Amino acid sequence: MGWMFDGSPFNQDIGDWDVSNVTDMRWMLDGRHFNQYIGNWDVGIVTSMAGMFRDSPFNQPIGNWEVGNVTDMTLMFAESEFSQPIGDWDVSSVTGMSSMFRGSPFDHPIGKWDVSSVSEMRWMFFESSFNHPIGNWDVSSVTDMSYMFSLSPFDQFIGNWDVINVMDMESMFRGSPFNQPINTWCVTNITSEPLNFSTDSPLEPDNKPIWGTCTSTSIYSEEVPTQFILNQNYPNPFNPTTQIQFSLPVSTVVRLDVFSVLGQRTVTLLNEHMPAGVHTVQFDARSLSSGVYIYRLSTPEFTQARLMNLIK
């Protein structure tokens, strides 16, 4: 049934159709006329709904559809009038959601969706009305978030997202009111702020992600050390990540820098006040070239440097 009624003036009652054997509904009702109830359709084996209601006046309840086998929802409701509850949909098999709600009035909760298989979210909410919490989404498979919230009213906390695999964030928040802290994001695949990332939005510099080389820290022992220690990184040599461990006998300001062998500072991994304890920093050097680097721990009371070898 792919492309069926695409661009046609069709707007008749087909709610009783038996579509239980249909696997392809992409672009099926794309157009400017269809708006009939089809909520009883059995779409249990459909695998593609890409572009299904694009640019249509369709706005009927379909929240009870079983869409667990659908893998592609690209452009599904783009530029349509659709705004019905679909928060209980099982979208765990979907890999493509690019432009899904682009330019639509959709504004219903979808925070329970399992989007862990989705790799494409570009333009997903562009110029839409969406502004509901989705901070618990697992977006670790997503590679493209360009224009995702551009020109939308979205301003919800998403600081816990794992964006380690994202390759493109161009214009992600352009023209939106978004100003939530995303400064814990580790965007290793993007070495500098993308074009128009937050142009014409109030996103403050301190809330922006870390681009390129990123670090994470943890305290793995509650026992207070008796002396300052900077351990050898492990593994060493490494590619592309390694751990740097150090001990602080007192709470103090800590700076941890990485330098080239020529003495040029490459990256500052830490520059903050830290509690006494044994700390571990995860250093991701995928944006750096192979070679020997110097890492130096500095506090008001202690300074020490060591060598590490990045081999790619």
Mean per-residue pLDDT, 48-63: 95
Which is it for the CA torsion 117, 173, 214, 227, positive or negative?
A: negative
Confidence of residue 223 (pLDDT cuts 50, 70, 90): low
Is residue 50 very low, low, confident or very high in pLDDT (cuts 50, 70, 90)? Answer: very high
pLDDT digits (tens, 9 = 90+) for 152-211: 999 999 988 989 899 999 999 999 999 998 887 888 899 899 999 999 999 998 888 888
Instruction: List phi, psi (to 5°) of 200.
Output: 65, 25
- What is the CA angle 94-151-116, rounded to 5? 20
Position 230 pLDDT exceeds 90 = yes
pTM of model > 0.75? no
Provide the token pair at 163.
């964006």
Tens digits of per-residue pLDDT, 67-113? Answer: 999 999 999 999 999 999 999 999 999 999 999 999 999 999 999 99
Spatial distance between the Cα atoms of 161 and 182, rounded to a whole number of angstroms: 9
Which pLDDT does position 207 carry in this prediction? 87
Dump pLDDT digits (tens) for 106-134. Answer: 999 999 999 999 999 999 999 999 999 99
Phi, psi of 57 (to 5 degrees): -85, 10
Q: Which contiguous run of DSSP H or E holds residue 260?
A: strand 252-260
Predicted local distance difference test score (pLDDT) of residue 31: 67
Q: Which CATH superfamily is domain 215-310 in?
A: Macroglobulin (MG2) domain (2.60.40.1930)
Residue-range domain boundaries for the chain? 215-310
d(CA 49, CA 1): 10
- Residue 128 to residue 149: CA distance in whole angstroms: 8
Distance of alpha carbon 29 from alpha carbon 251, whole angstroms: 64
Residue with tokens 């044994």: 278
The two tokens of residue 245 are 């461990």
Smallest CA-to-CA distance from 60 within 77, 37, 43 is with 37
Label residue 91 left, alpha or beta by phi (over 0 means left) and psi (-120 to 50 means alpha): alpha
